């Protein structure tokens, strides 16, 4: 169970794994995620289901190495098993024919939008996908997304690919061009989602964001994932992770995301030490 | 006529010693102590104690066996009605159940039924079932898995474990689906090691497995399979998904960094072993000045865990008086001994942050008890101009849990109460045919023993149902 069948590095800090999980592949819908514990004693970390193959009973996950547990996950090789895999979690994306939908992915969020782009297109939407990363090397999933979108627009902070600038700049231009946009979906770092919401709020375009608060059980039992939406406390793991972006308290989300920064560093160093010595032994 | 003897209280580890680690606080009885305490029981003809026990443990019978030194037989006697005595002996609110009704309590102290139960279970574990590998199957009438019908049990807390155990013993093919990566429910993630060693919970789960039940962890029912999907493969479903939804007060500042729900806090410590950080990678941040809001077992556990994690000052904020506290008397006593400060008749109304956005002060109001409310308890009312600020760097909100909403949310046909509890008949049948529920999902946050009682009753009802359908199928 939960064997890693395929692993591939998309760039220096982002990897894609395909994991055996027939029951998850069967039930998963766009917008849902899993919780992985790569090895016993690691954390429970939430990662979006970036694709499923129901016939082969596998799910694809794309993750960025940012700390201890993603580091451990990245150290697992093809053929090894993750200790625990739970999913699908969260409420699926609302997919229907809206008309024209702009789907925006930033950073590792690019991979997270793939299932939604595919599903939105399949029900007849015109899907304009905008993806952005710091530079060309960090751009992922471009080919896959181009194949599924009506139109794909690319931005990089340094202009090494596509337009120089942010995804939000591209969104601004798209709206300014007079194109009628019926829905915006934005997935990526909190500042990106916040800026996109600020833009669409002015133009009264409904905007869905996928929030990424810290999570623990991810089944609705601990409350660490609580976010304030329209003045009400919601649990992102069950009620979300998608919410109406215009109603989200982003400042609170940012503050809560940072609450473990100092200890996370300690965990990361600890894991690097452990993996470092092991890695050398193997080499 | 038995002479009047004082109740023998268990010896406990000293405060200085026990607050430094997570090991159990009370030490249990020695065999001699157990026999002496057992001899206090006068073996009532009409034992009132049994009426106080939700699973009707054969109390005088097992106590008599203890008095005779026949501990293994005593264990069998208890297990006729209670599969988890090592757990109940530790966490049952005995003072409100069996011991409350004991006749000796009228004039003096009741027999220490719970402690005796704990002793017997521990003795059995240490002398007969020392290893999980040689757990003996009880000489039951049926061979495990001798029946073809399949039953799905959702949740591996006391309700699910009891229901699964009873059905497996009857020979049904039982599969337990548990959403977390470990089994045991609150017994594992909620109640701390120093009150209920996890080894004991693991052994009980092993025991249920040894009866033939399969356990599948990492399976969130509602999302991975709906109840309707389960019913296609299983002839009956028991839902024991518990009350794991933490309540918040909804006051300003409750989402600041440093404010935990008790569930999150205990989950990090008990389940993710945060006290072993960084060998275990889940961290917990515990400050120097901790405030715990609430007055139940969950609040006491959170407070005592905080002390053990090195907090300098731990204060319980409770809006009524100690008399109204729902926590077990024993645990309140131990919390006080260990140095937890009780600020009673105190209600937090807002939390204030420091410049880094971390909680720094709990703004409170003093309360007094007013007229009785619907529950008959006197309602706390605010004392005018009584605001004060308590410096804190960690707040743990332990004001209660509601039934887990996920399964009802994903099962629209399942009827629930306004407060979220799944509606059941006395046998545990829900509004859906073939679907039973019990424990905290149906009662709201209650007790281990009531959850077990529900699991038992539902198992009986499911057995009746499947026997009937067997007959109709054969016609
Ligand atoms: C619903 C959901 C879906 C997600 N999907 C993906 C995905 O598909 N791919 C992916 O790479 N990541 C995804 N994330 C983020 C991912 O869960 C975190 O990166 C991961 O938990 C970090 O674990 P760690 O132990 O390696 O790092 P940690 O030590 O926990 O953190 C290291 C650094 O990352 C930051 N961080 C931690 N958690 C998050 C978070 N949730 N969001 C943003 N920053 C965080 C910390 O503040 C810290 O600076 C998702 C998060 C959620 C809630
Ligand atoms: C900190 C704390 C201290 C307590 N102290 C005491 C005490 O001293 N004495 C006492 O009698 N009682 C005590 N209680 C209460 C007692 O623990 C509960 O009443 C009892 O555990 C309820 O049992 P249950 O089987 O109904 O649910 P739980 O023990 O909550 O178990 C439910 C299980 O179902 C799982 N689950 C939930 N949803 C799903 C799903 N959709 N799919 C699959 N699995 C799912 C959960 O992960 C969990 O493992 C305490 C509770 C807490 C939180
Ligand atoms: S199960 Fe609980 S209530 Fe029943 S006899 Fe034992 S301790 Fe008392
Ligand atoms: S009521 Fe008390 S004295 Fe009587 S049988 Fe029960 S435990 Fe013994
Ligand atoms: S992660 Fe625990 S409730 Fe959402």
Q: Are A129 and A117 in contact (CB under 8 A)?
A: yes
CA distance B282 to A216: 9
Q: Kindly give the distance from the C-alpha atom of residue B59 to the centroid of ligand 4, in angstroms, as a whole number.
A: 7
Predicted local distance difference test score (pLDDT) of residue B319? 94
Mutate to test the pocket of ligand 1, among A42, A43, A44, A46 (most ligand atoms within 8 A of CB): A46
Helix, strand, coil proportions of chain B in percent (round to 5)? 40, 20, 45
Q: Is the CB of B59 under 6 A from ligand 3?
A: yes
Taking residues A11-25, report their average pLDDT.
94
pLDDT at B9 over 50: yes
- pLDDT tens, position by position, B413-446: 999 999 999 999 999 999 999 999 999 999 999 9
Predicted local distance difference test score (pLDDT) of residue A171? 94
Distance from CA of A256 to the nearest CA of B (A): 6
Distance from CA of B391 to the nearest CA of A (A): 19
Q: Kindly give the distance from the C-alpha atom of residue B99 to the centroid of ligand 3, in angstroms, as a whole number.
A: 8
pLDDT at B138 over 80: no
Predicted local distance difference test score (pLDDT) of residue A97? 96
User: Residue B441: which residues within 8 A CB-CB, separation 6 or more?
Assistant: B155, B159, B239, B240, B241, B242, B243, B403, B404, B407, B421, B422
Distance from CA of B396 to the nearest CA of A (A): 12
Q: Which residues pair with A47 in a beta bridge?
A: A34
Helices vs strands, H then E, count in chain A: 10, 16
Predicted local distance difference test score (pLDDT) of residue B368? 93
- pLDDT tens, position by position, B29-44: 999 999 999 999 999 9
B434 close contact with A: CB closer than 8 A: no
- pLDDT tens, position by position, B231-247: 999 999 999 999 999 99
B280 close contact with A: CB closer than 8 A: yes
For the range B306-311, what are the long-range contacts, defined as Cβ-Cβ under 8 Å and sequence gap of 24 or more?
B306/B394, B306/B396, B307/B19, B307/B338, B307/B339, B307/B340, B308/B19, B308/B20, B308/B21, B308/B22, B308/B194, B308/B275, B309/B269, B309/B275, B309/B284, B310/B286, B311/B286, B311/B287, B311/B394
Taking residues B185-211, report their average pLDDT.
93
Other C-beta atoms lying within 10 Å of the C-beta of residue B297: 24
- Residues of chain B in contact with residue A222, where contact means CB-CB under 8 angstroms, are 246, 261, 263-264, 267
- pLDDT tens, position by position, A147-188: 999 999 999 999 888 889 999 999 999 999 989 999 999 999
Q: Which residues pair with A60 in a beta bridge?
A: A18, A51
Q: Which residues line ligand 2 (CB under 6 A)?
A: B 91-93, 154-160, 177-180, 185-186, 190-191, 219-222, 240-242, 244, 266, 297-298, 301, 328, 404, 406-407, 439-441, 445-449, 451
Tell me chain B's radius of gyration from C-alpha atoms: 23
CA distance A76 to A85: 14
Taking residues B199-214, report their average pLDDT.
91
pLDDT at B139 over 50: no
Q: Are A195 and A132 in contact (CB under 8 A)?
A: no
- Residues of chain A in contact with residue B255, where contact means CB-CB under 8 angstroms, are 226, 228, 233, 252, 256
CA distance B163 to B460: 9
Q: What is the mean pLDDT of chain A?
A: 92
Interchain CB distance below 8 Å, B244 and A69 = no
CA distance A279 to A281: 5
| Higher per-residue pLDDT: A247 or B374 | A247
Tell me chain A's radius of gyration from C-alpha atoms: 18
Interchain CB distance below 8 Å, A264 and B283 = yes
Q: Are B181 and A84 in contact (CB under 8 A)?
A: yes
Q: What is the mean pLDDT of chain B?
A: 91
Query: What would the two tokens of residue B66 be?
Result: 């203890």
Predicted local distance difference test score (pLDDT) of residue A258? 87
pLDDT at A209 over 60: yes
CA nearest neighbour of B241 among B86, B444, B40: B444
Q: What ipTM was estimated for this complex?
A: 0.93
Q: What is the 3-state secondary structure (H, E, C) of B105-150?
A: HCCCCCCCHHHHHHHHHHHHHHHCCCCHHHCCCCCCCCCCCCCCCE
CA distance A263 to A68: 11
Q: What is the pTM of this model?
A: 0.93
B355 close contact with A: CB closer than 8 A: no
Taking residues B342-358, report their average pLDDT.
95
Q: Is the CB of A233 under 6 A from ligand 5?
A: no
How would you classify residue A21: left for phi > 0, otherwise alpha for psi between -120 and 50, otherwise beta? beta
Interchain CB distance below 8 Å, B404 and A221 = yes
B228 close contact with A: CB closer than 8 A: no
Predicted local distance difference test score (pLDDT) of residue B4? 64
Say what percent of chain B tops pLDDT 90.
80
Lowest mean pLDDT among A87-101, B1-15, B63-77, B85-99: B1-15
CA distance A219 to A87: 10
User: Residue B64: which residues within 8 A CB-CB, separation 6 or more?
Assistant: B38, B41, B43
Predicted local distance difference test score (pLDDT) of residue B221? 97
CA nearest neighbour of A94 among A187, A30, A26: A30
Taking residues A40-56, report their average pLDDT.
94
Q: Which ligand is nearest to the CA of A225?
A: 5
Predicted local distance difference test score (pLDDT) of residue B375? 78
Which residue stretches of B222-340 are H helix?
Answer: 227-233, 262-266, 297-308, 329-338
Distance from CA of B261 to the nearest CA of A (A): 7
Q: Which ligand is nearest to the CA of B192?
A: 2
CA distance A12 to B144: 53
Locate the ligand 1 atom nearest the alpha carbon of residue A45 and give its number.
21
Q: Kindly give the distance from the C-alpha atom of residue B88 to the centroid of ligand 3, in angstroms, as a whole number.
A: 6
CA distance B432 to B223: 18
Query: What would the two tokens of residue B118 be?
Result: 């704990």
- Name the residue in chain B with its Cα closest to that of A256: B257
Indicate the SS3 state at residue A130: strand
CA nearest neighbour of B411 among B143, B180, B221, B163: B221
- Residues of chain A in contact with residue B257, where contact means CB-CB under 8 angstroms, are 255-256, 258-259
Q: Is the CB of B48 under 6 A from ligand 4?
A: yes
Taking residues B308-326, report their average pLDDT.
93
Q: Which ligand is nearest to the CA of A45?
A: 1
Tokens 């019990």 — which residue?
A: B438
pLDDT at A91 over 80: yes
Residue B156: band (very low, low, confident or very high) from pLDDT cuts 50, 70, 90: very high
Q: What are phi and psi of A129, to 5 degrees?
A: -100, 130
């Amino acid at each position: 169970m939960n064997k890693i069948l395929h692993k591939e590095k998309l760039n220096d800090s982002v990897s894609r794994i395909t994991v055996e999980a027939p029951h998850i592949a069967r039930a998963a819908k766009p917008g849902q995620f899993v919780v992985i514990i790569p090895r016993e004693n690691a954390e429970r970390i939430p990662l979006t289901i970036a694709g499923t193959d129901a016939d082969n009973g596998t799910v694809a996950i794309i993750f960025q190495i940012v700390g201890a547990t993603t580091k451990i996950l990245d150290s697992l090789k093809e053929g090894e098993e993750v200790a625990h895999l739970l999913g699908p979690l969260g409420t699926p994306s609302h997919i229907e024919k809206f008309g024209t939908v702009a789907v925006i992915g930033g950073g590792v969020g690019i991979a997270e939008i793939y299932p939604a782009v595919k599903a939105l297109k399949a029900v007849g939407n015109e899907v304009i996908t905008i993806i952005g990363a710091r530079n060309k090397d960090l751009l992922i999933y471009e080919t896959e997304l181009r194949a599924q979108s009506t139109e794909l627009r690319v931005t990089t902070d340094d202009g090494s690919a596509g337009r120089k600038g942010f995804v939000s700049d591209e969104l601004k231009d798209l709206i300014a061009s007079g194109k009628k946009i019926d829905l915006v979906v934005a997935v990526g770092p909190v500042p990106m989602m916040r800026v996109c919401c600020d833009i669409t709020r002015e133009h009264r375009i409904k905007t869905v964001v996928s929030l990424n608060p810290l999570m623990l059980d991810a089944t609705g039992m601990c409350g660490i994932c609580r976010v304030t939406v329209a003045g009400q406390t919601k649990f992102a793991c069950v009620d979300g992770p998608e919410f109406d972006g215009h109603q989200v308290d982003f400042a609170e989300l940012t503050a809560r995301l940072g609450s473990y920064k100092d200890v996370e560093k300690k965990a990361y160093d600890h894991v690097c030490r452990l993996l470092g010595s092991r890695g050398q032994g193997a080499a | 006529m038995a002479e009047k003897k004082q109740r023998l209280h268990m010896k406990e580890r000293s405060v200085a010693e026990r607050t430094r680690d997570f090991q159990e606080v009370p030490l249990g009885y020695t065999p001699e102590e157990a026999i002496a305490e057992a001899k206090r029981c006068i073996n009532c003809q009409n034992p009132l104690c049994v009426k106080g026990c939700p699973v009707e443990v054969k109390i005088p019978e097992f106590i008599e066996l203890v008095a005779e030194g026949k501990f293994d037989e005593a264990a069998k006697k208890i297990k006729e009605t209670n599969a988890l005595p090592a757990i109940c002996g530790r966490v049952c609110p005995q003072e409100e159940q069996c011991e409350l009704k004991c006749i000796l309590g009228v004039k003096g102290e009741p027999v220490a039924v719970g402690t005796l139960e704990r002793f017997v279970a521990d003795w059995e574990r240490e002398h007969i079932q020392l290893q999980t590998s040689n757990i003996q199957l009880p000489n039951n009438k049926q061979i495990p898995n001798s029946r073809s019908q399949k039953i799905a049990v959702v949740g591996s807390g006391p309700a699910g474990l009891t229901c699964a155990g009873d059905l497996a013993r009857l020979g049904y093919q039982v599969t337990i689906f548990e959403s977390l990566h470990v089994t045991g429910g609150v017994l594992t993630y909620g109640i701390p090691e120093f009150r209920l060693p996890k080894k004991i919970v693991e052994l009980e789960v092993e025991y249920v497995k040894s009866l033939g039940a399969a356990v599948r962890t990492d399976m969130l029912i509602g999302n991975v399979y709906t109840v309707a999907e389960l019913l296609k493969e299983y002839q009956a479903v028991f839902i024991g998904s518990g009350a794991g939804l933490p309540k918040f007060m909804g006051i300003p500042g409750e989402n600041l960094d440093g404010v935990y729900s008790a569930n999150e806090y205990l989950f990090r410590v008990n389940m993710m072993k945060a006290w072993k950080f960084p060998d275990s990678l889940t961290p917990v941040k515990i400050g120097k000045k901790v405030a715990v809001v609430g007055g139940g077992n969950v609040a006491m556990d959170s407070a005592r865990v905080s002390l053990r994690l090195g907090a300098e000052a731990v204060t319980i904020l409770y809006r009524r008086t100690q008399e109204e506290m729902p926590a077990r008397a024993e645990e309140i006593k131990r919390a006080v001994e260990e140095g937890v400060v009780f600020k009673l008749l105190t209600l937090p109304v807002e939390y204030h942050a420091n410049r880094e956005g971390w909680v720094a002060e709990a703004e409170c109001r003093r309360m007094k008890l007013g007229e009785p409310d619907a529950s008959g308890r006197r309602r706390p009312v605010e004392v005018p101009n009584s605001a004060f600020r308590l410096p804190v760097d960690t707040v743990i909100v332990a004001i209660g849990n509601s039934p887990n909403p996920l399964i009802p949310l994903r099962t629209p046909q399942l009827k629930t109460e306004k407060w979220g509890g799944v509606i059941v008949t006395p046998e545990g049948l829900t509004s859906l045919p073939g679907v039973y529920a019990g424990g905290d999902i149906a009662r709201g946050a209650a007790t281990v023993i009531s959850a077990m009682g529900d699991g038992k009753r539902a198992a009986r009802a499911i057995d009746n149902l499947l026997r009937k359908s067997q007959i109709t199928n054969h016609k």
